Amino acid sequence: MKKRVKHIELKPEMRVDELVEEMGKSGVFSAGRVAKAVEIYHEMLKAGSTIFMGVGGAMVPGGLRRVLTQAINEELVNVIVTTGANVTHDLIEAFGGYHARGEALVDDAELRERGISRIFDVYVPQQIFELFEDKIQPMFAEVTKKGARISSAELLRRIGSHLEDENSFVKAAATKNVPVFCPAIADSILGLQAWLYSQEHELNIDCLRDVHEIVDLASNAKEPGAVLLGGGVPKNFIFQSMLLTPKSFKYAIQITMDRPEPGGLSGATLEEAKSWGKVTPDAKLVTVIGDVTVILPLLVASVLGRLK
């Protein structure tokens, strides 16, 4: 009972890191946990941690593309595991496409007739996917010249090296030598396009090679830390990489809206991971219950503010 809640004080022209510091003074609810996430992230960077970032869902259509790119360029992350959706939508914009603001409460049958696909309140016109197909098919031909049996990380490195869009996180990762794994690449529009290409050309995206490559990275990781944006395949692929090494994660930050009671990994607590040996018994952990599109910009901006 010695620590009391201190109330947040706002000031004109506050920096983001100053705002989060004020949130930390309260120390409770989601405000306190956002501040703790910043503290853990900053500590990871000071310790020279190898930071694995899991990017679930469809964060790129949600406006986080440049935040991810900046995190890579500012060396806030060393390894990325993401969904095929995020890669697909990053490439859509790299190829000159776009995502449009829409409405969540709408007649979806009418949208279908108009050739518009909906991601909550984001619209993607059919012609954007046609543009994507026109651009990605010849790119597959180009990137498989040096070998057609490759991991998803190597495929995305090759694709990224051919992109010109500086806002692309796939390009930034290739430039900064940050591997981007997409273990469920088949479960995406990009995966469908890869399958179409493979019907007439040689292309084999080797998911077991992905396992080999990320386990090597986990084995050599220094003071390993995890930043988990959502759950799903990216979260599990990162955590399971430690099961084949003598190490465990010493730091972990999780931002999620999911619950643990149904038993799914997306809502599983970080404390639960101790029972698997995925994190150390004394690991520094925090789970922020909230929308990644709201929390991540605060997290990255605040960490960058502290580093400056």
**Helices and strands: H and E segment counts in the chain:** 13, 11
278: annotated active-site residue: yes
Tell me how far apart the alpha carbons of residues 19 and 46 are, in angstroms, rounded to a whole number: 21
User: CB–CB of 238/268 below 8 Å?
Assistant: no
Q: Which of 118, 115, 93, 90 is nearest to 106 (CA)?
A: 118
DSSP-assigned letters across all residues of 138-198: HHHHHHTTT-SEE-HHHHHHHHHHT---TT-HHHHHHHTT--EE-TTTTSSHHHHHHHHHH
The one catalytic residue in 36, 235, 247, 278 is 278
Smallest Cα–Cα separation from 171: which of 229, 83, 234, 95? 95
- Active-site residues, by number, are 278
